[in-house]
Amino acid sequence: MTKARDLANGGFGLVLVKPSTVVNGTDNGKGTVSFSAASSVSLNDVFSSTYENYLLLLRTTASADNIQIRMRVSGSDDSSANYHNLGLRITTTVDRVASYAQTSYRIAEFSTGKGAAQAVIYGPFLAALTQFNGLITNGYQSPMENGFQMGTHNVATSYTGFTLLPASGTMTGNVSVYGFNK
């Protein structure tokens, strides 16, 4: 049974969210942001009261290494040491990565710089704890790398956007943000 509110919101499932502005990237007019040799890329006003939870899809074709995310509000990054991260990288072995009281959250780790990641961001617009979890795939080498990332940002602030940045160097690729219909 289809509800009237689902039809009014464009249907079921996920809705691509268009940022109001982008720094160091180009919006394709629908919400997918491309970037090339960028030391960071920021998407403003993608989180709002319209959706509570979001899916971030990231694909890189070149990156120095780990890609981090920082929450953002009013055009400024929150670089306080309140990000906590736990990850597993699976190749022929399993490596555990844990970091606490960091200035960003690790969203992806690509040893070749090429890969794909998805992250669910829970409640970024709520003035409460923001939580993350996600998957990464780096299929451009042998053996293939896969992994899981999870973490929190423990400041009760209402965030409206985010910045992606590699741990060092630059990155090339694209990113999209989808809101989960309520």
- How far apart, in whole angstroms, are the C-alpha atoms of residue 165 and residue 181? 28
Asked, for residue 6, whether it belongs to a domain, the answer is no
Asked, for residue 104, whether it belongs to a domain, the answer is yes
Q: Residue 117's domain is classified under what CATH number?
A: 2.60.120
Res 8: pLDDT: 52
Asked, for residue 9, whether it belongs to a domain, the answer is no
The stretches in the chain having pLDDT less than 70 are 1-11, 64-65, 110-112, 139-143
Helix (H, G, I), strand (E, B), or coil: what is residue 5?
A: helix
Asked, for residue 3, whether it belongs to a domain, the answer is no
Asked, for residue 172, whether it belongs to a domain, the answer is yes
- How far apart, in whole angstroms, are the C-alpha atoms of residue 68 and residue 81? 13
Asked, for residue 2, whether it belongs to a domain, the answer is no
Helix (H, G, I), strand (E, B), or coil: what is residue 165?
A: strand
Res 139: pLDDT: 59
**What tokens does 52 get?**
């509570």
- How far apart, in whole angstroms, are the C-alpha atoms of residue 75 and residue 153? 18
Domain that holds residue 93: 15-180
Res 7: pLDDT: 47
Largest CA-CA distance found in the chain, in angstroms, rounded: 50
Asked, for residue 1, whether it belongs to a domain, the answer is no
Residue identified by tokens 């940022």 is 19
Res 2: pLDDT: 44
Structural contact between residues 115 and 137, judged by C-beta atoms closer than 8 angstroms: yes
Q: Which residues, including other chains, have CB under 8 Å from residue 48's CB and lie 6 or more apart?
A: 125, 160
* pTM score, whole prediction: 0.88
Res 11: pLDDT: 60
pLDDT tens-digit readout, 66-116:
888 999 999 999 999 998 988 887 777 777 777 778 888 878 776 667 788
Domain count for the chain, please give it: 1
- How far apart, in whole angstroms, are the C-alpha atoms of residue 169 and residue 177? 24
Asked, for residue 24, whether it belongs to a domain, the answer is yes
Q: Which residues, including other chains, have CB under 8 Å from residue 106's CB and lie 6 or more apart?
A: 66, 67, 68, 85, 87, 97, 99, 149, 151
Res 147: pLDDT: 82
